[in-house]
Structure 1
């Protein structure tokens, strides 16, 4: 009787556990399918959102024909059709499902009118397409210009693609997956989609899912058999639900077996007497066996792979003391092994990050040498290069002092302008610059001072400079002013902009994302710089986060024994450049133009790069810096270019095989900073040889 009672309790617990596990599996599968469907819908939504930013729709006279060409290219890349509607009348202006020039029909206001009214993206419920003449689902976004919604851009979401997504995750047997829209119609089904898509879902399903994000239900399926299902809501399409369905008898089979085992076990109680003696003897021997096993594992294992103690607690005091001693020693060794592994990982990550930053700095220094005008006396050329490299070195020293978390603007200014102490007055509160702004700000101040020494206030003994800055109360942006006085009289702006002036403008406008203004007054140059709000920075906590990396090879840099274009004669081939460092982007531009290419960009961040990759036509190739600003990766741009069959070249400062996360297979080449110009020419030449 005690054995039967224990068996009944165990079986009841097992039944509950089996049922909970079965239901949890269905719910988890439904959540995973919902996330996959959200990604599929999000891909279409992201594509048309990027297309909605096209400049062809700007202004009072949008270029519909030009936009139609962009839309048809985008539709071909997505494998679907796109529609552009007037936001006021909801009249179709473009429908890529129709031939070019064919008149577009009207679209029901109930479909996309809400986008024009609310300005919010929309995923429609199941409708019958006016052109396709079968059940379709659309995604739509507003096209807003100057605060006014001018158009609505929509894309068709292929239902067979959704059904295929569900089918790929369907379990074998009679299980299937289903997707239902907000009005209760079947949108996709992993089993017999051609039969059930468009059918209304059962009433018990709609009632059970109402107001719930996920759960478990039971009821008859559309075929009539009794089923159970786990469901989850989609985040991208309000009201849409994904369900994972299993037959009722499969569900009951999961917990019927323990009950059957209980009945069989009752008949075996008759052998309890004999089994009890065996059990008692094993109970005495089990602690000893476990201790022997633990001692052997303790002696054999070392490092991270130490085995956990397996011996059970014993009522024999000596056995229990020995077990606890082995367990304590095992735990101590495991803790040391884990600490050593973590310390090794931190050290390796730090080495890789230092390698990346050092090579990036070398690449910038190399660009300084290449870009500094060389049509001057050698001593002037050397002084210019030395000054710019020294400015970079001082900026790096300040960053290193504070663990690369940024630097104070006053400290940076005093360090960079120390040779002119006493002739430059500083005014401004303590302002912390993020690490990505320190080097360009140091270079900018150095160039301003160099210009003042050569041509401005610092070229005469009486000249003075007032450097001031403030952080705006309203927008939090930084405003910096450089005002010269007492120098030679200024007749006006220079006829030609020197390299230093161009570099100041590039650093201010492109790398610092600000707005610069040169005011050539009679008493001297007045330079103003306005920066957007500075991003918040965090001091390091001891951990270093690096990108995972590929098995990539670098293109060798042979001796520069040939120059000129590497492509056939004809119109210049267009190359997209994505690079966040101003000096590096200027150097790449100069190299490409020397090779006879036309430069598109350069783009400094992911958003700008994606916009150029979508909107620019006839791209021959692209040069993509992997790490953009230390926070973004250019991989989405590479994916987009791959859909357009545009070859791309990765550029990275990481020396190990972990920066590209296995993405090097799709690239035409991988260049590691600093690289020779000939290496760039060879990479583009490889593109020409492998179209």
Structure 2
């Protein structure tokens, strides 16, 4: 028996130790994954910060490149030099204007008119590329001639009409980026680096002066070609084995941000707990073996006594003498114990069968209930958890039973529940028991869930007190209430806005001729009504720009197959990708398109047969117009134009006020001989809403209205 006990202990402990070893391996893997995830997360955050720094320079330069003092024929470079100096002060870096021959027209760090040296050869190549492609560019690391500092040039094109006349540039200072990287805390000798497209270190979180301009190891540049982000391993320039997370920049093609830490920092943290775990497992096995041996000796005493008595009976032929007084009394106790166990087993079997039948009936009722039913004891420990509760909270019954009920509560109630329960048990003062109310629960994944809760109190046959909570998930009801409230608020806001627009139209439309006044007001109110119809059809969530344009321009195009249509009626064509507009932008765009169409129908291409209007729009990253929605209205085939009109009409003023005032955009008109051309630029976030991301350029889908 002693051998069997030792074997039993070994059989029980060895699998447990094996499972522990597997768990340790999994924990090591999880720790390594967490280590790499932390590096990757830091690299992603720093890459986003550097992208923002470079994108800010590109955006500031792109905005400055549209200044009238630079692009207009009558522009004044001295005035533009002053504007550039103000922008350079905001950027914290100099701004320079480069001519096509790579000569510097001016530099904000010098007075206007001061002669400047040509740009460096690397920058000259960038200038040619920007002039040819018409797109911004970010160059690799160079040394400034004036200061000797490590910088990276940033250039954007300056357009005059359809040609690129200059390249407007600035620099991203390596020291500034190094300070940005250094703001991130690192552990165990870790550091972050910014590497340009040529594989040179632009900036580093520590020892910037020592490392700036150095070529990184080939395994870093080669490994970074595998994808936009990843984990690499190798030796750094100092020969230290490191784990490196890299992340490519979107604002500077070919550039990457790396975050590295020595692998020893990860391994050193594991050696001590692994050694302690191994020694502890061996010690536990040894102690268990000793305990099994001692317990075996204690159990064997009554067994040996019973064996001796049986041998005596067998040897005497059933006439064994009475037990000697000094014999162990455990023999008699073992016999009585066996009889008592048999009687108790029969009684318990009957009682257990009755209890099991009752519990089965109760469990069937509880588990088939639609509502969640949770039973807790006086300590707040969960004792029962039905299937509906599993569905609502995401915990299996085995996970929930035995834990405190506060695990199912929102953050506000979880910390106070035990105190509330103790106060009720002490004073009997009820706050929620017997009274239903709405509360916030917490699912297994941490997400909140609104509940309708009622609690009942009861006692079992032994007088122990329990509480049963019945809960119903009211998420759908809450969502419906929120949607109704949002819809009511949106409709109220839009109604007020519509009334304000109508009031403005009534006040500002020229009223010299009553009949013309009524027609103009009616047409503008009808345009506003069409925009609101689109919003109503989408549940006030916005509308696609194409749908808005089609509704506003449909009255001016001859319908196909119409017997009353002229042989060559005017043609209206739309060309642009799908572009959802925010609810606040639908009405302004509808009114602008209405005014343009009304003007074309009176004086332009839509007033004569064979006239043509083309409406094109675009918004995307690859076009070089990051952050802007651009719409172009071009008329042709109409009455010839002789230049701009002598005075601005109400429609022109309304378009200006709408685009600039409501959408924060810009309008340009060109009275070309073939017809009027209107170009509109609106910030994408004002047009599509704050929640919209700027899309890549989608293929335009042309159609004819």
- Structure-2-length-normalised TM-score: 0.54
Question: Structure 1 35/399 Cα, relative in aligned 2: closer, same or farther at 3 Å?
Answer: closer
> For residues 331 and 82 of structure 1, do their structure 2 counterparts lie closer, same or farther at Cα, with a shift above 3 Å needed?
closer
Larger Rg: 2
**Aligned equivalent of 2:398:** 312
The answer for the alignment partner of 1:516 in structure 2 is 600
User: Counterpart of 2:666?
Assistant: 608
Give 2:156's match in structure 1, choosing from 124, 129, 141. Answer: 141
- 1:50, distance to aligned residue in structure 2 (A): 1.9
What's the counterpart of residue 175 of structure 1? 190
- TM-superposed deviation, 1:26: 1.0
Distance in 1 separating the partners of 2:207 and 2:221: 21
TM-score (structure 1 length as normaliser): 0.55
Shift of 1:159: 2.0
Distance 1:474 1:358 in 2: 29
Say if 1:178 and 1:189, in contact at 8 Å, map to a contact too.
Answer: yes
Matched, 1:74 2:87: yes
Q: Which residue of 1 aligns with 2:28?
A: 15
Distance of 2:594 and 2:602 partners within structure 1:
16
What is the alpha-carbon distance in structure 2 between the residues aligned to residue 583 and residue 472 of structure 1?
A: 20
- For the pair 1:28 / 2:49, whether they are aligned, the reply is no
Match of 1:345 among 479, 482, 485: 482
Shift of 1:313: 7.8
Query: Do the aligned partners of 1:606 and 1:634 also contact (CA within 8 Å) in 2?
Result: no
Instruction: Provide the secondary structure at the position in 1 that maps to 2:80.
Output: helix
Alignment of 1:551-630 (within 5 A): 586=654, 602=660, 605-608=663-666
Aligned to 1:486: none
Q: In the TM superposition, what is the alpha-carbon distance from 1:306 to its structure 2 partner? A: 6.4
| CA distance in structure 2 between the partners assigned to 1:601 and 1:331 by the alignment | 43
1:129 aligns with 2:144: yes
Q: Name 2:672's counterpart in structure 1.
A: none
Q: Name the SS of the counterpart of 1:516 in structure 2.
A: helix
Residues 261-292 of structure 1: CA deviation (Å, up to 9, x unaligned): 233222123455889x9xxxxxxxxx99x974
The 8 Å contact of residues 136 and 155 in structure 2, kept in 1 or not, is answered as yes
CA distance in 1, matches of 2:517, 2:72: 49
Cα distance change of structure 1 residues 291 and 98 upon mapping to structure 2, 3 Å threshold: same
Deviation at 1:127, TM superposition (A): 0.5
Larger relative contact order (Cα-Cα within 8 Å, sequence gap ≥ 6): 1
**2:61 matches 1:48:** yes
The change in CA–CA distance for 1:206 and 1:588 in structure 2 (over 3 A counts) is closer
User: 1:546 is matched with which residue?
Assistant: none
Give the secondary-structure state (helix, strand or coil) at the position aligned to 2:165.
strand
Cα distance, 1:296–1:468 mapped onto 2, change above 3 Å = farther
Aligned match for 1:356, one of 486, 493, 497: 493
Given that residues 511 and 517 in structure 2 are in contact (C-alpha distance below 8 angstroms), is that contact kept between their aligned partners in structure 1? no
**What is the CA distance between 1:513 and its match in structure 2?**
8.3
Uncovered stretches (5+) of structure 2, i.e. residues with no partner: 1-13, 296-358, 364-373, 401-442, 444-448, 453-470, 557-563, 578-589, 620-649, 669-681, 694-705
Contact kept, 8 Å, 2:182 with 2:206, in 1: the verdict is yes
Greater CA deviation, 102-111 or 333-342? 333-342
Report how far residue 52 of structure 1 moved: 2.0
Structure 2 contact 576–616 (Cα < 8 Å) conserved = yes
Shift in Å, 1:11:
1.5
Which runs of 5 or more structure 1 residues have no equivalent in the other structure? 278-286, 315-326, 409-430, 446-463, 478-505, 537-581, 590-599, 612-624, 637-691
TM-superposed CA distance for 1:231, in Å, is 1.6
Q: 2:615 aligned to 526, 532, 538, which one?
A: 532
Separation (CA, whole Å) in 2 of partners of 1:90 and 1:202: 33
Does structure 2 conserve the Cα–Cα contact (< 8 Å) formed by 1:406 and 1:433? no
Change (3 A) 1:432 1:605: closer
- Structure 2 distance, partners of 1:41, 1:605, is 26
Residues 590-637 of structure 1 show CA distances to partners (whole Å, capped at 9, x for unaligned) of xxxxxxxxxx9846645528x9xxxxxxxxxxxxx999875246999x
- Asked if structure 2 preserves the Cα contact closer than 8 Å seen for 1:178 and 1:244, the reply is yes
Check whether the contact 1:142–1:149 (CA below 8 A) recurs between aligned residues.
yes
- CA drift at 1:252: 0.7
Q: Give the superposed CA RMSD.
A: 5.4
Matched residue SS, 1:8: helix
Q: Does 1:267 align with 2:297?
A: no
Q: How many residues align?
A: 467
Larger deviation: 290-299 or 13-22?
Answer: 290-299
**Are the equivalent residues in 2 in contact too, given 1:97–1:131 (CA < 8 A)?**
no
Secondary structure at 2:397 match in 1: coil
Distance of 2:198 and 2:546 partners within structure 1: 53
